[in-house]
Each structure stands twice: as C-alpha cells, then as structure tokens.
Amino acid sequence: MMTPFEPYAFAMVQPFSSLVTSQAWRHDVEAWVHDRVEESGRRLSGPLDQVRVRPWSTQLTVPTDHGRLWFKANTPSMGFEPALHQLLATLSPDDVAAPVAIDPVRGWMLTADRGPTLGEVRNPTTDDWVRLIQHAAALQRRVADRRDELVGLGVHDCSPPRVPERFDSLVEQLSNLPAGHPSRLRPDDLAALEDRRADLVEAAVVLERSPVPSSLQHGDVHPDNAFADLKVFDFGDVQWAHAVEVLRVPFGIISQDDTVEWGPVRDAYFEVWGDVADRRTMAALFEATAFTQAVNRCLVWVDTLQLADADEIAEWGVAPRHQLMRVVDA
C-alpha cells in the first residue's frame, strides 16, 4: 500500500494535475459545463480557460452572455465541497452564495463570478477582519446541529475526542515516509511530539467538555476566501471540528500584519458565542485549539497531497510535517 501523499510511482495511479490537464477530462468538462450553462438560461460566449492547477483543485473561467462563471474540480479527498457548498447556501444564504450547478459524484461545481475578493479590493482592515470572523461564527452557529449531514457528505469528523488517535496515526504515517521525503519525521521530531502528547490529550478533553460545540470549521478563513460582500467560499478544507479552531488561521495571518489588531477580531468572535461561554472560557478554549488545530490541519495537507506528483511534493510536501510540529510549540 502506498503511503499517503507519497509521489505516485505506478502508471495505474494518475496524479490529479495530470488528470485535469488531459484532453479526455477537458472534453468531459466542456460537455458538462455547456449543458449546465444552457440549463441556467445562459449561453457560452467563448472558450473555457484553465487558469489554475494545483494538486488539490483546478479552476476554469467560463465566459457567458450573462457574465463570467467559474468551474472548479477537486481531488477526490475534497470532492465533498460542491455538495457542502450547496447545502450551506441553503442553510445560510446570507453567508454563502448558491452554486449555479454541481456534480457531487465527480466533485465538480459551477459558480457565478461575484467580483473580487475582499483581499483584492483593499488591504483588509481590523474592521474587515471583525466582520469576516463574525460571518464565519454566525455560519458555525447555524449549522452546529447538522453534524450528521456534513459528515455524511464526506467532511472529516475532527471533533476533539478523535484528535489524540489521529495524532498517533499521523505521527506513524509521517515517520514511515521514504527517506528524503520533506515531511518525514526525524528522531528528534518524534521525541518532541511525544513530549507534548499528554498536553494534547488534555487540550482535547478541555474542548470536548466545553459549552462551545464542534461545528463547521472552514479551515482557511481569510480575506481572499471571502467576497467583498463577506460571503465566504472555498470549502475544500472544511472539517467538523471544535468551533474555536476557526480562529487559528486568522490569528496566524494577523500576527504577521502590524496594520491589523488581533484583540478586536478575537473579541468579535467571542461575542458571537457570548450566550454560551464567557470571555475567560473562550480564551481558554482558544489556547487549547493550538494543539487540536495543528493536528487537524496536518490531516488537511495529507489529504491535499494524496494525488500529488513528484514535483508537487517537492514544492508542497513539507506542509504536513510543518503543521504537525506546531503541536510542539502550542
């Protein structure tokens, strides 16, 4: 059996980026897009343009007589995104724009161009971040009782009780990678991770017992994953995890940006949950997520690189180790 995200060496296994740049795949996509565009009352006005290819997804622009659309296809481990996006748009239309069409089996989605992202419009201010994190928290609250539906679509259950076992599994997987792989754990890595395992277990217990539940954890909330109207998109990294984990990516970005204040952003998120947990409790939960989110983010990258080729592993392959080793610094 091949190790997760190991470069695929067997001809029978095709890297995702190779698949989505093949003529046969492009033919199928163009036929599907043509039919979905027609069904939506639009007409194609030019050729599709493949503007982005990554080991985990590809995007094509679709010109029509009623404006540009976007086609997205995901690697199988993230193939739940179209169905999830559609469900979230139904449950929370104020926060998520409905797709034009989806193919949940193939992991394909067609969406309307909603203009530039918040990050493209301007350098995000503290107020922009405050409003964005409030939207993310509001979405979490709306779907907090939908665990079975989301997991049923293929979203990983990364709730706190599952984190210690997943940590052990990821440590084993990364330890068994081939020599020279950028995410192979070294003996000193293993010792450092083992030293923090008890703290990780304790953090998971704190989160499991907290009044704030697990919910949709977007996984990558930032201004380039939200439109100017603050509708969020890009749900390929979503997990069912402790809600407060959603703060970790914003915290990492804002801590490197001296133009944005972290305190108001953090407090805005805390306030959305203010009826179930006081500020002191929320602060303790945020500290605990430093452990669990690192493990869960490692899992995202393992999934992301499952169908990566050798060049892509060389470029992105260090990410799983980088994320898991954050446990040491939590």
- Rounded to the nearest 10 degrees, what angle do helices 319-329 and 187-208 cross at? 70
Residue bearing the bigger pLDDT, 5 or 202: 202
Tell me if 87 sits within 8 A of 139, measured CB to CB. Answer: no
List pLDDT tens digits, range 121-133: 999 999 999 999 9
- Residue 30 CA to residue 14 CA, distance in Å, equals 21
Question: DSSP labels for 202-241?
Answer: HHHHHHHTSSS-EEEE-S--SGGGBBTT--B---TT-EEE
Share of the chain above pLDDT 70, in %: 96
Fold adopted by 16-329: Aminoglycoside 3'-phosphotransferase; Chain: A, domain 2 (3.90.1200)
Alpha-carbon torsion (48, 49, 50, 51), positive or negative = negative
Mean pLDDT of 97-108: 96
- Residue 195 CA to residue 108 CA, distance in Å, equals 43
Burial-class residue 192 by CB neighbours within 10 Å (0-12, 13-18, 19+).
middle
- pTM to 2 decimals? 0.94
List pLDDT tens digits, range 266-319: 999 999 999 999 999 999 999 999 999 999 999 999 999 999 999 999 999 999
Residue showing tokens 């679509």 = 153
